Copies of this chain bind each other. A is one copy, B any other.
Amino acid sequence: MDNPDQYRPLSPEELAERLSTVPAIAGRIGSDPAGWQVKEVGDGNLNLVFIVRGPKGSVIVKQALPYVRLVGDSWPLPLYRAFYENHALVRQARRDPGAVPEVYHFDETQALIVMEFLSPHKILRRKLIDGETVGGLGGFLGRFCARTAFRGSELSMKSADKKADVGLFSGNVEIPAITEALVFTDPYYGAEMNHHTEGLDPVVSGLRSDARLKARVQRLLMKFASNTETMVHGDLHSGSIMSTSDESKVIDPEFVQYGPMGFDLGMLVANFLMAYFSQPAHRYPSELAGYQDWLLSVIDEVFTEFEAEFRRLWETERTGMLYPAALFEDQGQSSADACAALLAEIRTDAHGFCGIEMHRRTLSLAHNADFEDIEDTVLKRRLEARNLEMGAELVRTSETLGSTERLLDLARRFNAKDIL
Contacts and interface: CB of A to CB of B under 8 A. Distances in A.
B327 A218 contact: yes
Contacts of A181: 321
Interface in A80-127: none
Contacts of A225: 154, 159, 321-322
B338 A211 contact: yes
Interface stretch (A170-178, A306-314, A383-391, A407-415): A170-178
B164 A215 contact: no
A205 B212 CA distance: 44
Contacts of A45: none
Interface stretch (A62-70, A278-286, A329-337, A367-375): A329-337
A153 interface: yes
Nearest to A330: B189
A227 interface: yes
Contacts of A209: 331, 333
Nearest to A321: B180
A40 B327 CA distance: 41
Given A185-B321, A185-B327, A321-B225, A170 B173 contact: no
A209 to B, nearest CB: 7
A335 B413 CA distance: 32
A334 B222 contact: no
Specify the main secondary structure of chain A where it touches its partner. helix
A379 to B, nearest CB: 30
Interface in A150-188: 153-154, 159-160, 163-164, 166-167, 170-171, 173, 176-177, 180-181, 185, 188
Contact of A211 (B167, B180, B227, B337): B337
Max count, chain B CB within 10 A of own CB: residue among A164, A321, A330: A321
A24 to B, nearest CB: 31
A271 interface: no
A52 to B, nearest CB: 36
Given A208-B331, A226-B229, A327-B218, A164 B173 contact: yes
A260 to B, nearest CB: 9
Interface in A204-245: 208-209, 211-212, 214-215, 218-219, 221-222, 225-229
A215 B333 CA distance: 11
A177 B320 CA distance: 12
Contact of A226 (B153, B222, B338): B153
Interface string A288-310: 00000000000000000000000
A170 B163 contact: yes
A130 to B, nearest CB: 37
Contacts of A335: 211, 215
Contacts of A41: none
A222 B228 contact: no
A211 B330 contact: no
Given A166-B166, A167-B167, A219 B185 contact: no
A7 interface: no
Contacts of A166: 166, 170
Interface of A: 153-154, 159-160, 163-164, 166-167, 170-171, 173, 176-177, 180-181, 185, 188-189, 191, 208-209, 211-212, 214-215, 218-219, 221-222, 225-229, 321-324, 326-328, 330-331, 333-335, 337-338, 341-342, 345
12 contacts: A159-B225, A163-B170, A163-B176, A170-B170, A189-B327, A208-B331, A214-B338, A215-B323, A218-B323, A218-B327, A226-B228, A227-B227
